[in-house]
Amino acid sequence: MSTRMYGSLARIADFKNSNFDVTKLDRSAWATGDYVEGEVIGTPSRLYRIEDRTGHMIQVEPGDWVIGALGQRAATLEGVGGWADITADGHMHALTSAALIGYYTSYSTLFPEPMELVYRGHLCRDGKKVCMRDFAMRSDTHAFNVPTLLLFGSSMSAGKTTTGRRVCKELDRAGMYIIGAKLTGAGRYRDILSYLKNGAREIYDFVDGGLPSTVVPEQDFREAIRPLLNHINERKPDLLVVEAGASPIEPYNGEALVDELGDNIVCTVLCASDPYSVVGVQQAFGVTPDLVTGPATTTSAAVDLVRKLTGLKGINILDPDMKQPFRDFLFDKLKIAR
- Asked if 184 and 313 sit in the same domain, the reply is yes
Indicate which CATH number applies to the domain containing 193: 3.40.50.300
- Tens digit of pLDDT per residue, the chain (338 long)? 679 999 999 999 999 888 999 999 999 999 999 999 999 999 999 999 999 999 999 999 999 999 999 999 998 889 999 999 999 999 999 999 999 999 999 999 999 999 999 999 999 999 999 999 999 999 988 999 999 999 998 776 778 899 999 999 999 999 999 999 999 999 789 989 999 999 999 999 999 999 999 999 999 999 999 999 999 999 999 999 999 987 777 899 999 999 999 999 999 999 998 889 888 888 877 788 999 999 999 999 999 999 999 999 999 999 999 999 999 999 999 999 87
The pLDDT value recorded for residue 84 is 98
The answer as to whether 279 is a domain residue is: yes
Query: Of the candidates 72, 97, 76, which has an alpha carbon nearest to the alpha carbon of residue 211?
Result: 72
The reply to whether 338 falls in a domain is no
Q: Do 153 and 103 belong together in one domain?
A: no
Do 232 and 109 share a domain, yes or no?
no
Contacting residues for 153 by C-beta, under 8 A, at least 6 apart: 159, 160, 244, 246, 247, 270, 271, 272, 273, 294
Is 139 part of a structural domain of the chain? no
Write down the pLDDT at residue 290. 96
Kindly state whether residues 124 and 198 are assigned to the same domain.
no
* Residue 265 belongs to a domain: yes
Q: Is residue 140 part of a domain?
A: no
Q: Are residues 152 and 123 part of one domain?
A: no
**How much is the pLDDT for 246?**
72
Q: What is the pTM of this model?
A: 0.94
Find the domain containing 227 and state its range: 148-333
Domain-embedded: residue 142: no
Same domain, 262 and 167: yes
Nearest to 33 by CA among 207, 253, 235: 207
Residue 210 near residue 132, CB atoms below 8 Å: yes
Count how many domains the chain has.
2
Whether 215 is in a domain gets the answer yes
Boundary (domain end) residue, out of 132, 165, 183: 132
Q: How far apart are CA 317 and CA 323, in angstroms?
A: 6
- Residue 49, pLDDT score: 97
Domain final residue, candidates 100, 132, 164: 132
What's 119-187 look like in SS3? EEEEEEECCEECEHHHHCCCCCCCCCCCCEEEEEECCCCCCHHHHHHHHHHHHHHCCCCEEEEEEECEC
Residues 182 and 85 in one domain: no
